[in-house]
Amino acid sequence: MKRKTFVPMALSLLCLSACGGGKVDPNKTTVEFWGWGDEVEVSIFKDIVKKYNANNKDDIYVKFSTQPASGYAAKLESALRNQKAPEIFFVGDADIKKYVANNWLEDITGRVEASASIKTDEMWQAGINRYRYNATTHTSTPSDPLYCLPKDLGPSVIFYNEDAFKAVGINIVSKKASEIAEEDERHGFYEKNGQKYFNNKISMTKEEELALSKLLTKSHNASSPTNFGFYTEWWFNYVWSMGGDCIKVGDDGYYHWTLGDQTKSTCTYEGTTVSTRDVFQQFVDLSTKDKVMPKPSSVPSSDKTAFFEQQYFAMMVGIRANVAEFRQYCDFNWNVAPLSHYEGGTVEGHSGSMGYGMSKFSSDEKKNAAFKFMEYMAGAEGQTELSKTGFSIPNQKELAKEIIREETSPSNAEIFLDYVETQRGGDWTFLPDTQWIDLWAGALNQDVLNGDMTLDTFFANYQSQTDATLKLYGKVGE
């Protein structure tokens, strides 16, 4: 299907803005609900709210106000800061710590524990624990206060163009390692008897991923139907797979920026042990040295899905949210596969999530009504309705498994479930704000990945600045 022309998201959602749910009933408790999404998701939310307003027996009326995606967090923060926020609203996993630290969110721990319909032990713990936070100890453990119920969870995977793979002579296999007898066939990408194979059930090593990417890049293989073999905007999978990270607690009790750490791990690449710095360089090399990935200057992050749909690159690291769009706009066969890993390492990645939060400044009557609606939205009925878009994985394990079993596009959708519980939030979820990231992210995403700045210069410019900023967050645990 040909991709349609979009109005900018902020404008399109502003046009959709108005309120969903029908006419306000003055005899009912009215709660305002802020959210955002694409056209399909907003339409489903409106239908869910309309159904809730018509059928709930608690004399509650929900006024759904869609907001522009662009600037949503800033608008909500302003409303919370001025104590004029709606009763219930979307809270991104990047914002939960800041909102709690500022005492803007209602602690819903007691309400959830008393709820007959919300069973947190039946939810993905990688989702529910993302919305727990102790502002004193800066921890998010199962015993910490709960401030939101997860609306969704979106694991990251490799989306790939099956038609492009077949065009360069790759045979596609879909078998788990336990189903394969021959050891030399238990790989994500391999050659045997003169034939090339890709198994969408098994994680590729980084060496296999690069070899496959070159086969699907025109500068390496003139017969490739795609310009580039690979695209990712995230370093997480590289660094986390070998056990590294971007910040770690030092002996002094403060966080330190560790993307440049040169300590060797037990993981290997081409038989040689690697450090965090080594694998970070390999991430940069995708666009600057190996040239299997386009530079950011030619593919804006906001347009990456459109480039995949136009078959500009054959593989793209994306999240569950991309499924809904690809179902609508890809006019070729596509599927999903696990993220890659380093030899001796693990398959690691990040997942996106959004939660439902409540304002601390609402009246008790409004809070009680808002929580009842939250129970509905985070419960089986609301989650089932939302899953119809393909946008996200339901927050409940058994419900998610049931829905994924029925999916045919993508046919390998169970991969999302294989990693939903092990993937964590991106670096934007680590601390109460992203000031420590904002220092260097622009230089990385533009200068470094475009090949205009070396990593030596990058770390020389930003290491001391970032460490100094991290120190402002105080000692860990104090």
Give the model confidence (pLDDT) of 118-143 as tens digits. Answer: 999 999 999 999 999 999 888 999 99
Q: Boundaries of CATH 3.40.190.10 in the chain? A: 9-155+352-426, 156-337
Confidence of residue 19 (pLDDT cuts 50, 70, 90): low
Residue type at position 147: Y
The burial class, CB within 10 Å (0-12 / 13-18 / 19+), for 131 is buried
Q: Which CATH superfamily is domain 156-337 in?
A: Periplasmic binding protein-like II (3.40.190.10)
- CATH number for 9-155+352-426 (one of 2.60.34.10, 3.90.700.10, 3.40.190.10, 3.40.50.300): it is 3.40.190.10
Confidence of residue 194 (pLDDT cuts 50, 70, 90): very high
Query: Is the pLDDT confidence value at 312 over 90?
Result: yes
Tens digit of each residue's pLDDT (9 = 90 or more) over 338-385: 999 999 999 999 999 999 999 999 999 999 999 999 999 999 889 988
First to last CA, the chain: 55
Quickly count: other Cβ atoms within 10 Å of residue 169's Cβ: 11
456 three-class SS = helix
**Model-level pTM?**
0.92
**Whole-Å CA distances, 107 to 4, 99, 242, 347, 471:** 43, 11, 37, 34, 28
Residue type at position 449: L
**Whole-Å CA distances, 26 to 13, 60, 362:** 28, 10, 18
Residue type at position 190: Y
Query: Is the pLDDT confidence value at 14 over 70?
Result: no
